[in-house]
């Protein structure tokens, strides 16, 4: 009986946390990634984009090249020639070619992204990739609406183009300009819809990298359901046979 008193409080707390998470870092509502781990072509494109634009700084230390090749339907030659720029062997983990001296350059090494999709969530990651804008006041010249004062440049700016912030008419409580959105100021190599798909592909690939076993579970799930259907049918037929002479 006592525990029931806390149920409304727990529900309210969960709603508050969900609201706070969706507005994390003052960046507003998250956009839906709509990713699909069953879309192998998306995973392959995401792997290509990640290795071309992100792997120079970020590693995936819990994922091996060989496992990625098996799961994404790629050959060893394809992986080693197009996705492996670190010089690692095919059976080794996905590391970054960034030298150890980079820690002195940046103050600390860029984080490993093996679990970023699980920690942050797919929608957060997708929105983050779309939310970079130019900021002359920032050290690196870039900022992010979802993650203010982010300490990294927009690695995808050539594809996305250059975005400028959209400010609210009134400053925030501290008197600072309030960024309420971003708008494209100069086009990139991709149309906006194409870039959104590229961001979705990267998100999809990082969601896979965070839990490669999820692909296996999806495959096994189909067979488990089929087994249960057949087992239920056999059980019903057996019951019917046993009870047909019982009046």
Q: How confident is the model at residue 201 (pLDDT cuts 50, 70, 90)?
A: very high
Is the pLDDT confidence value at 192 over 60?
Answer: yes
Distance from C-alpha of 158 to C-alpha of 36, rounded to nearest angstrom: 26
Is the CB of residue 62 less than 8 Å from the CB of residue 94?
no
CB contact set of 83 (below 8 Å; sequence gap of 6+): 47, 48, 51, 65, 68, 74
The mean pLDDT of 216-242, rounded to a whole number, is: 76
Return the SS3 of 233.
Answer: helix
Strand spans (E) along the chain: 60-64, 93-94, 132-134, 142-144, 161-167, 179-187
- State whether residue 70 is helix, strand or coil: helix
pLDDT of residue 98: 81
Could you count the other beta carbons within 10 Å of the beta carbon of residue 201? 22
Q: How many CB atoms lie within 10 A of CB 16?
A: 10
Question: Rounded distance, CA 14 to CA 22, Å?
Answer: 12
Q: What is the pLDDT of residue 18?
A: 39
Domain 29-237 coded CATH 3.40.1160.10: no
Average pLDDT over residues 25-45: 87
Tell me the average pLDDT across 145-170: 94
State the pLDDT confidence band at 32, using cuts at 50, 70 and 90.
Answer: very high
Three-state DSSP class for 25?
helix
Q: Sorting pLDDT into bands at 50, 70 and 90, what band is 221?
A: low
**Structure tokens that stand for 183 in this block:** 């708008």
CA R_g for the chain: 24
Q: Tell me: pLDDT of 67 over 60.
A: yes
Known binding residue 54? Answer is yes
For the chain, give every domain's residue range: 29-237
Residue 219 confidence (pLDDT):
65
Q: Pairing state of beta strands 142-144 and 132-134?
A: antiparallel
Could you tell me the pTM of the whole model? Answer: 0.77
Contact 190, 159 (CB under 8 A): yes
Cα-Cα-Cα-Cα torsion 194, 200, 204, 205, nearest 10 degrees, comes to 60
- 113 vs 24, more confident: 113
- Position 1 scores a pLDDT of 39
The predicted structure's pLDDT at residue 165: 95
What is residue 226's predicted lDDT score, i.e. its pLDDT?
A: 79
Give which of 114, 96, 126 is closest to 199, Cα–Cα. Answer: 126
> Which residues lie below 8 Å from residue 62, measured CB to CB, with a gap of 6+?
93, 112, 114, 115, 209
Two tokens at 161?
A: 């183009």
């Amino acid at each position: 009986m006592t525990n029931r008193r806390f149920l409304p409080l727990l529900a309210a707390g969960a709603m508050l946390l969900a609201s706070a998470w969706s507005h994390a870092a003052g960046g507003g509502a998250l956009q839906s990634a709509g990713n699909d781990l069953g879309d192998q072509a998306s995973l392959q494109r995401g792997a290509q984009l990640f290795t071309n634009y992100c792997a120079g700084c970020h590693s995936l230390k819990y994922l091996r090249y060989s496992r990625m090749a098996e799961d994404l339907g790629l050959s060893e030659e394809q992986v080693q020639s197009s996705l492996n720029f670190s010089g690692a062997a095919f059976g080794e983990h996905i590391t970054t070619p960034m030298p150890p001296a980079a820690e002195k350059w940046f103050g600390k090494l860029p984080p490993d992204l093996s679990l970023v999709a699980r920690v942050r969530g797919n929608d957060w990651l997708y929105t983050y990739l779309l939310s970079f804008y130019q900021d002359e006041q920032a050290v690196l010249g870039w900022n992010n609406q979802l993650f203010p004062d982010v300490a990294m440049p927009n690695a995808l700016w050539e594809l996305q183009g250059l975005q400028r912030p959209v400010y609210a008419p009134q400053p925030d409580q501290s008197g600072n300009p309030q960024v309420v959105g971003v708008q494209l100021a100069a086009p990139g190599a991709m149309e906006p819809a194409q870039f959104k798909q590229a961001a979705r592909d990267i998100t999809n690939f990082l969601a896979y990298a965070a839990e490669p076993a999820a692909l296996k579970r999806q495959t096994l799930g189909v067979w488990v359901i089929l087994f249960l259907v057949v087992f239920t049918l056999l059980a019903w037929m057996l019951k019917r046979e046993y009870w047909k002479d019982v009046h």
